[in-house]
Structure 1
């Protein structure tokens, strides 16, 4: 690589990367807040319209499917226009979808609600892919840390979104709208502001930042799926999403059925959310320090512990259930951040962007399937059975790591 033409070029590049990262971070925090503000009330709205507990769970599944479908579309836009324009366009789509959902609440239209949630899911795909866009602004050594902080940005939105509902409900009432429409109104505003925040980020096109290892790796997108590191990342992310959504989706029902009140349900799920997001910077640091594969292994171990604990914990024990759900969230976080770091290096940038979108689509669709099936499985095998089935999914990534153990050893030497 040629030396910088100007003695301060590296400093200026670092400054640009930091400004860009801050802009992306702000966009993710704002848009995630908008997503959670709307989605929190979506099952309540669906049940109020249809009177069906089964259909009440459909909005979340549709949002996850929308995120999966939207991921491949977002990466296509990034490859063609750069992340600024792509994210701005997708966030504006999210704002429009929230507006459509607001209309659905006002008119009691389940069909419009589902369409709106699908669009919100597509907007949320930008939040998920933002970790890769931010990582591309930095050296490969810093990318795991940056990915961890981008995941942490979602924690801000996940916490503040539901907290905004009280004020948002009063605003909706003042506008002669149902109180349940308030969360979607928040989404309209915050998605629009998130789109504007990307104007602060530096221009970026993946093809303009070749990886130092690019020449040594296959360029066709189809060939990249055969790389051991890609296979480990893909199977890990799909399994981690499947395990988390299988258990997480039915935990509130299990806890409430055991006689716990709303406060206990909230405390247990808060422990889970804390494990998922709050420690993401730590997961990024661990990945940068020890390498992706050891951190993936630690994440799978935590998920194994969580599912075994969930299967054996007495239903009346709030502390044990909270600990199990925390381990579930933290295990997912470790596996997710470390696997994402594997996909952020070592490929031609244009191929890498397409691959990231396809992997994102696969993982979110697997999460949607797990969320849809969890309620049925709860009725068939109970909460302990759901946990044990989720535990079984963990053997897939472990098997892939064992199959590629020789490559894993070489990878640790080069990148740990």
Structure 2
């Protein structure tokens, strides 16, 4: 036996002993849950700043480099498509190696993609831009999947609240990002780079810091501890069939996934074309930053209240609330005068709030339906579908606006969101 093999066995033995200590102690589990939330929160602050760059100036950068509005939705489609692949990879890596390795890898990949976008803008290289946007999507996917880390050791009655805690602090970075557009733009110009590459410089630093925080501090891994707890429960319940512990509730996964897919596609489609719509009607990039900043705040800041509501009133009711709120957002965006900052802000705030309702209620439904033995892998696959829905919404939004108008896009999105109600009614179990 080699010295390296002996070292690995010793390391694994110490790791298993450490995890076992948490399995045996409910108090240590609660302490680890609190510590996990604090670390995830720290990473989410930086992750939020990273994702905001693509939302705010991605479409404008494509418009500038391509010279047309027709394909302005392509950047959103690309980094959302990249996030779909990353969601699958991060989910599978988390299932095998734990949240720490999976999430850190995703954030670091997102940072590398942001660096590539900056280089593509400097050298006006479209192939590099498209490739880098795909890789940049890894940060977006990871920022979304980090919300699951907060639920691994949470009690069933506190899962939505744990999701909301992980999400709400994304607000700080996500709101700061769009409002630093001018600052980063001036900085990038001062070093000889295009102004629109500035926010992606911020994204590169933010994503890399988020990855390093998780890599260094998310120990012991909450997902590995949750798996060990589930395995112990399986052995303790010898009088019951094993599938009582490991069964997957497919109906719950279908409901949760459907809610998140519809809310994501509607939100991404309208959000993507809002900056283009605003610049066509005389608004400057600082106005765009304000509207998108408030939109992103509405996506994440209400999370603490939403989590409590989802736990108290149920996943289904809040899914209905999501559909109605998104409908109101679509109607307001469609009929608001293009020069009215107040109404545009209100429309995009409602759009973010409806997405928030749908994401937290849908996420909680998926977590409820999956045991730890398959949870991370299943969550990754669900997030793939969510990302693909967002990619479709982003890609189609520019074409719809080119052929019709921003108002038509908003109306389509608003009425599409109403499908949430009949779908949830149809799929949920009969009494």
CA distance in 2, matches of 1:94, 1:67: 9
Give 1:34 shift.
2.5
Question: 2:268: which partner in 1?
Answer: 245
Q: Is the 8 A contact 2:175 2:293 kept in 1?
A: no
Q: Is the 8 A contact 1:165 1:183 kept in 2?
A: yes
CA distance in 2, matches of 1:261, 1:186: 20
- Residue by residue over 1:257-303, the C-alpha shift from the partner in whole angstroms, topping out at 9 and shown as x without a partner, is 45556665555444433322221111111111111111111111212
Q: Is the 8 A contact 1:302 1:330 kept in 2?
A: yes
Give 1:73 shift.
0.7
Question: 2:135: which partner in 1?
Answer: 119
Matches for 1:11-90 after TM superposition, within 5 Å: 11-37=27-53, 40-90=56-106
Give 1:99 shift.
2.4
Q: Is the 8 A contact 2:50 2:202 kept in 1?
A: yes
Residue 210 (structure 1) aligned to one of 210, 215, 230: 230
Q: Which one is further off, 30-39 or 104-113? A: 30-39
Matches for 1:285-364 after TM superposition, within 5 Å: 285-315=308-338, 317-364=340-387
Question: 1:106: which partner in 2?
Answer: 122
- The normalised TM-score by structure 1 is 0.85
Question: 2:16: which partner in 1?
Answer: none
Residue 129 (structure 1) aligned to one of 145, 148, 157: 145
CA distance in 1, matches of 2:48, 2:329: 26
Q: Is the 8 A contact 2:323 2:419 kept in 1?
A: no
CA distance in 2, matches of 1:109, 1:316: 34
- Residue by residue over 1:282-333, the C-alpha shift from the partner in whole angstroms, topping out at 9 and shown as x without a partner, is 1111111111111111111212222233344454554444333322221111
Question: What's the secondary structure of 2:89's corresponding residue?
Answer: helix
Q: Is the 8 A contact 1:71 1:358 kept in 2?
A: yes
- Residue by residue over 1:57-89, the C-alpha shift from the partner in whole angstroms, topping out at 9 and shown as x without a partner, is 322221111111210110010011101111222
Question: 1:412: which partner in 2?
Answer: none
Q: Which runs of 5+ in 2 are unaligned?
A: 1-19, 235-241
Structure 1 residues 150, 174: closer, same or farther in 2, change over 3 A?
same
Give 1:119 shift.
0.7
- The normalised TM-score by structure 2 is 0.82
Residue 371 (structure 1) aligned to one of 394, 404, 414: 394
Is 1:95 aligned to residue 111 of structure 2?
yes
Question: What's the secondary structure of 1:52's corresponding residue?
Answer: coil
Structure 1 residues 114, 233: closer, same or farther in 2, change over 3 A?
same
Question: What's the secondary structure of 2:86's corresponding residue?
Answer: helix
Structure 1 residues 374, 290: closer, same or farther in 2, change over 3 A?
same
- Count the aligned residue pairs: 399
Question: What's the secondary structure of 1:372's corresponding residue?
Answer: helix
Question: 1:413: which partner in 2?
Answer: none
Q: Is the 8 A contact 2:370 2:378 kept in 1?
A: no
Q: Which one is further off, 202-211 or 109-118? A: 202-211
